[in-house]
Structure 1
Amino acid sequence: MVLYKRPRLLDFTKTPQYLQFNKYVLTGYRPVSTAPECLGSLFYMHNELGNIYTHGVPFFLFLVLLPFSIPWMEVDSVWIGVVHYLACLCPTVGSVVYHVFMNHVGGEHVYDTLLSLDMFGVCLVNTLGALPIIHITLLCYPTIRQTALLAYILLSAYSIYCATTAHTNILRLQAFLWQAVFRFSLFLFRVFGSGAGSPDSLRLFVIMDSLAVMGGLVNVIQIPERFIPGLFDNWGNSHQIMHIMVICSIIYLHWGTLEDLAWIKTYQCPTE
């Protein structure tokens, strides 16, 4: 039994030009649709279905399960738990909305708005996800910590502007570069300086960023569909691989933050 009558899908050359961003995905494009029709596309096969569900399913799992894994009663600063929880949800929300409604009848203007929302969510996970890391790394340096938090927020605002106004995947990837450099400097401070934080969390955070960078590169290079155009139209293409790597990156962010929260309970800053 078909839950929703599928419209006639389009080939790459028949879809609107603003949706022609991956020339190696040849078939399965939804026609321009109303909002209810876009929602109806959740129930039939097309080349965006995998993109929707690879972030949609994790969103609901994170929404329900993550609060139970955060030790709220043991966190001295509740904002750390709240910010971390929102960070884990942000990229999946914007992504799902973008992929569901990207073929809306509003045309290119609506598409650009949805893409900006998607990029905003990615920037937020970088911003909100890093705030607990900054707080814990510079725990014993309150003045420097406040300055670093403010600097990172300002840097993130610039990255958000760049990411939401960029017109290519390469420029969008570059928009996240400065945030990554800032986080990497914190990791170095933990290794070679006097930064606080669990030794185990550092490894998890490095894996987190590595997965995110690799996912972005896969999406930009457009592999594996580049090598066999048409074979990965519905499943297994670069964007879906990036989605899965982003989810894995968020999981490592969560594990790393939990390690730091467990570690900080027994840590005392050295006295001079």
Structure 2
Amino acid sequence: MLSLLKLPRVFTINQVPKVFHEDSIISGYRHPRSSATDCIRSLFQLTNETLNIWTHFLPTWYFLWKLVTVIVMQTAWQDAFTWPLVIFLFSCCVYPLASSCAHTFSSMSVRARHICFFFDYGALSFYSLGSAFIYSAYVFPDKWVNSFFHRCYVPITLFNTVICTALSCYSRLGLPFLQYSHDIVKRFPECQSPRFSKCLRVFAFAYPYLFDNIPLFYRVFLCVGDGCTDNDTNFLHYHHIALAFLTGFLFATHLPERLAPGSFDFIGHSHQLFHVCGILGTHFQMKAVEQDMVTRRSWLLQNSIPITFSSTVGVAVLCLVANLIIIMLYSLPLLSAPVCPKKKSGKS
């Protein structure tokens, strides 16, 4: 019983392989070959990953409650108008859950770390598609509804999500199914050029976000005159946009820990703040969309593109299948080949 209560030891940055290093985080690392049990036990001790895990695991249940509420209270299976919202809420459950699992089990091995975050990236890109569904269905400004761009919007977003997943996975390991050798491994972006890898990853997620939000940016910042859908919901959209840009800023800059390395190892580093801002941004996004749904329902049902099963659930399933194929293509080689040159870790 006492052995079950014994918490795993934590390490400093010099005691774990380079692939596990986080910018300006000096201590609080878990053993790079932790067991699954050790990973779960580490949830109840303070490491540099603990709050990363809980700041996404707990909101998962909030969004799941919202999803169940919409399905049960609004009888979503009978009302096609709510299907985009259901898919969006499902994506809001998937991405924080995938993130919390990735942060929990990423210390099992180098291979596990990469594969865990492949799923994390796939979940984020699926959330991007979920956002596109609700924007297409409820947020487009009146003057853009049923336009050529509106009709092409979701198909382009689907393409962007697939590119997002592929590019973010590439940022860790390069091209899959290469003939792995020691020399080729050294040229992988994550090992050879961590800054380039990070920039590539930032672009992989910034581009789909910016494209998804074109109709919203136009509606709240640029549109003037009739057909601009200027209503009270825009105030909530401003909150979401501000938090989204703060989220991207924190992810890209590694502030505040970059200003004082080692001072924010356990509490207050950028990835924790990134998680909190991301969840709050998603919350305001959901609230804004729900208000747009109620306010604009009658007009949208008469004037907007018809919502069908194939254009919502069918596209979502296609996205999930495509992302899983990409993740599989990148994961299979890791099961039989080294990823980064080995480096001695601290004593266990």
Shift of residue 72, structure 1, vs aligned partner: 2.1
Equivalent residue of 1:207, what SS?
helix
State which of 296, 299, 309 in structure 2 corresponds to 1:264.
Answer: 296
Structure 1 partner of 2:343? none
Q: Secondary structure at the match of 1:10?
A: strand
Q: 1:215 aligns with which of 228, 233, 247?
A: 247
**For 1:245-256, what aligned pairs fall within 5 Å after superposition?**
245-256=277-288
> Which structure has the larger Rg?
2
In structure 1, stretches of 5+ residues that fail to align are none
Q: Equivalent of 2:161, from 140, 156, 165?
A: 156
Task: Decide which of 111, 114, 122 is 1:112's aligned counterpart.
Answer: 114
Q: Which runs of 5+ in 2 are unaligned?
A: 173-196, 304-348
User: Which of 100, 107, 127 matches 2:104?
Assistant: 100
Q: Which position in structure 1 is the counterpart of 2:152?
A: 147
| Mapped partners of 1:233, 1:188: distance in 2 | 36
Residue equivalent to 1:10: 11
* Pairwise CA distance, 1:206: 4.1
RMSD: 2.7
2:94 to 87, 90, 93: 90
Aligned to 1:78: 82
Matches within 5 A, 1:186-225: 186-190=215-219, 191-192=223-224, 199-225=231-257
Q: After the TM superposition, which parts of structure 1 deviate over 4 Å for at least 4 consecutive aligned residues?
A: 73-76, 192-198
Cα displacement (A) at 1:49:
0.6
Residue 66 of structure 1, CA deviation: 4.5
1:55 deviates by 0.8
Structure 1 residues 193 and 69 mapped into 2: Cα distance closer, same or farther (>3 Å)? farther
- Scaled by the length of structure 2, the TM-score of the pair is 0.69
Deviations along 1:170-210, whole A, 9 cap, x unmatched? Answer: 22111123323323421255334876767333443343233
Aligned counterpart, 2:125: 123
Amino-acid identity (%): 23
Does the alignment pair 1:170 with 2:199? yes
Distance across 1 between alignment mates of 2:285 and 2:118: 23
Change over 3 Å in CA distance of 1:170–1:147 after alignment to 2? same
Decide whether aligned partners of structure 1 residues 8 and 161 sit closer, same or farther in structure 2, where only a CA change above 3 A counts.
same
Change (3 A) 1:97 1:215: same
Query: Is it true that 1:28 corresponds to 2:33 in the alignment?
Result: no
C-alpha separation between the residues in 2 aligned to 1:47 and 1:4?
Answer: 20
Q: Against the structure 1 CA distance between its residues 189 and 217, is the aligned structure 2 distance closer, same or farther, given a 3 Å change threshold?
A: closer
TM-score in terms of structure 1 length: 0.86
Displacement, 1:84?
Answer: 1.8
Secondary structure at 1:77's aligned position in 2? helix
Q: Which has the higher mean CA deviation after the structures are superposed, 94-103 or 169-178?
A: 169-178
